[in-house]
Amino acid sequence: MYSRFLHQFYHLGMRPRSLYSRGYPCLITRQFHTKTKTFNRLGPHNSDVTSVLVGCLLGDAYAVKSIGTKFRIKQSVRHKDYLFFLYDFFYQRGYCSNSGPRGYKTILINSSLSSGATKKEKTYYGYEFDIFTFSSFNWLYDLFYVNHKKVISPQIHLYLTPLSIAFLLMDDGCWVSGSKSVRIATNCFERQEVELLRDIFYTKFNLDCTIQLLTKKGVKNPKDKFSLYIKVSSLPLLRELVLPYMHSSMLYKLGL
């Protein structure tokens, strides 16, 4: 099964090992197995794996914890190439099964429209895969979740790397053509959390950012949502930091 997915990567001109030689250690052999009990999957986990998970959790990935912690990574069908690239990254290191990403379908009904507006139904298609459950990843769940809600913790500065930022951008980044810079959709976080991320970007990476309030017309009882906008002056530095780790299908998010 996996050979078919790997063939897709090379057929599309992708380089699934492009992250392996960027100064981050990697596992040469697959050391974890799906039949291994959760509490026996102890790691240690290499820094590249942790960095990618941190970036994805700041983005679209989510985690569930019981005895151990399981991560689910998903993307829309539009970003299929990137999702398969992520799958290969974790598969090569022994963090997921050989069954490959699975397709999914989600139907959403917009019930937040103002009274009198016609409710609209939208169907979304995409791909997703799960990372094996690890008790040794419980600390990462605790870093990102409080009462089952995703948060940005002050301790995130210890684990945020250029590799993390690259995957955050690929997950939730957006090229703003008018201002020729990058916006990150941090909509699910509170303002003070976005402010914390902004400060870490500046103090740790010298990336100058501002916070933008997002509003949506016609929405009943809108909740304030905020995005992180990387200033034009910091764009050259941002590109320098993340380009070595960006998948080719995501370069447009850097205006390339």
pLDDT band at 254 (very low <50, low <70, confident <90, very high): very high
What pTM, to 2 d.p., does this model score?
0.80
The predicted structure's pLDDT at residue 99: 94
Under a CB-based contact definition with an 8 Å cutoff, are residues 26 and 16 in contact?
no
Domain range for 207 is 2-254
**Number of other residues whose CB lies within 10 A of the CB of residue 31:** 13
**Number of other residues whose CB lies within 10 A of the CB of residue 199:** 13
Under a CB-based contact definition with an 8 Å cutoff, are residues 193 and 154 in contact?
no
Total domains present in the chain: 1
Could you tell me the CATH number of the domain that includes residue 210? 3.10.28.10
How do residues 46-71 score in pLDDT, each as one tens digit? 999 999 999 999 999 999 999 999 99
